[in-house]
Amino acid sequence: MPDTAATTTSQQEKSGGLSGSTLKLIAIITMFIDHLGVVALESRALIIPITSMEDYVTLMQTNGQYAIPYFVMRLIGRLAFPIFCFLLVEGFLHTRDVKKYALRLLAFAFISEIPFDLAMRGQIFDWYYQNVFFTLFIGLTVIALIELAKKIFQGFFRFVVDTVVLVAGLLLAQLLYTDYGSTGVLTIVFIYLFKRYKNNILSMAVATLWLSTMNTIEATCLVDILLVKFYNGKRGLNLKYVFYAFYPVHLLLLYVIFHIILG
C-alpha cells in the first residue's frame, strides 16, 4: 500500500516503537479481517450491510447468529483506512518522485478493480463502488496540488486554487463512488494539513475524529491515535510491492473461496 520513508525530525526518529512497515502490517491484517466479514457474510446475502448502529440493531433482530462475529470483524476493520491515509501522507512528504507514486497508486487501482468488484459485489464491474486505491490516488493528487500551489501562489489566489483543487477532488471521489468517497479524501487532507505541526498524534486524532463524526461505526479507528503515538518515523522492512499486490490478490482469493467454492 502507500509508501513511507524515514523522517528526519528528532521528534519522530526514536528507538523502538512501530516502524512504517509495522503500521502497514497492522493495517493490512485489520483490512483483511474486515473484508473477510464482508465477503464471507455480507456479500453472500447472509446479512444486511452495516453502515450505522441502526443497521446493527436491525441485524440483531433479523439474523442474530451472524451479527456478533460480523460486527466485530467490521469494527476491527475500521483501523485500516486511517493508517493507510497516514502512511500515504508520510510517503508523499518523503518521496523523491510524487508523479511515479501517484501513477503507481492509479495502476493498482485499475488492477484491483475487478477483484474488488468480484469480492464485494459478485460481479466483474460495478460502477457504483470503486476500490480504495482510487480514493488514495485522488487524495494524493489533491495534497500534491495544494503543495504545488504553496510555491506558486500567495494570499487570496492561493486560497482560491486550494479551494478549487479540494472541491474538485471531493466531487471526483463522489462521482466515481470510491470507497470512503469524499470523506476519505478529506481524511487524507486533514492528516496532511496537521502534519505541518510535526505532531503525528494530532494529525491522526483529527482524521479519526472526522471519520467517527461522519459515521459512528468508524469509532474504533480512534485506536489509531495510540498506534501513531508509538510510530518511530522509520521505514522498517522494504516490502513496498508486497503490500501493493496484497490488495487485489486477497480480494480475488476471497471471491474464489466464498463465491465459487463455497458459494
The pLDDT value recorded for residue 261 is 86
Best CA proximity match to 131, nearest among 75, 67, 76, 81: 81
Band (pLDDT 50/70/90 cuts) for residue 7 is very low
Q: Are 92 and 189 in contact (CB under 8 A)?
A: no
Cell numbers representing residue 133 in the block:
486505491
Distances (CA, A) of 39 to 64, 70, 72, 132: 18, 10, 14, 16
Query: Which amino acid belongs to residue 159?
Result: F
Residue 33 has pLDDT above 90, yes or no: yes
Decide: 12 and 231 in contact? Cβ < 8 Å: yes
pLDDT value at residue 249: 97
Say yes or no to pLDDT of 6 above 70.
Answer: no
Q: What are phi and psi of 73, to 5 degrees?
A: -65, -40
pTM for this structure?
Answer: 0.89
Alpha carbon of 56 to those of 37, 119, 177, 253: distances in Å? Answer: 14, 22, 23, 27
> How far is the C-alpha of 75 from the C-alpha of 183, rounded, in Å?
18
Q: For 207-222, how does the pLDDT look when each residue is reduced to its tens digit (9 = 90+)?
A: 999 999 999 889 999 9
82, HSE (Cβ side, Cα atoms, 13 Å):
30
Confirm if 192 and 143 have CB atoms less than 8 A apart.
Answer: yes
User: In this model, does residue 48 exceed pLDDT 70?
Assistant: no
Q: 20 vs 2, 30, 140, 163, CA distance in Å? A: 10, 15, 18, 31
Angstrom distance (rounded) from CA 85 to CA 98: 15
At a CB cut-off of 8 Å and minimum separation 6, what does 29 contact?
none
3-state DSSP percent of the chain in helix, strand and coil, to 5: 75, 0, 25
When comparing pLDDT for 54 and 14, which is higher?
A: 54
For residues 210 and 194, give the distance between their C-alpha atoms in angstroms, rounded to a whole number: 13
The neighbour count for residue 44, using CB atoms within 10 Å, is 14
Q: Report the alpha-carbon distance of residue 224 to residue 208 in Å, rounded.
A: 8
Mean pLDDT lowest for which of 132-141, 186-195, 217-226, 233-242? Answer: 233-242
pLDDT value, residue 45? 47
Mean pLDDT of 12-22: 77
**Mean pLDDT, rounded, of the chain:** 89
Is the separation of the CB atoms in 199 and 231 below 8 Å?
no
Give residue-wise pLDDT tens across range 87-118.
999 999 999 999 999 999 999 999 999 999 99
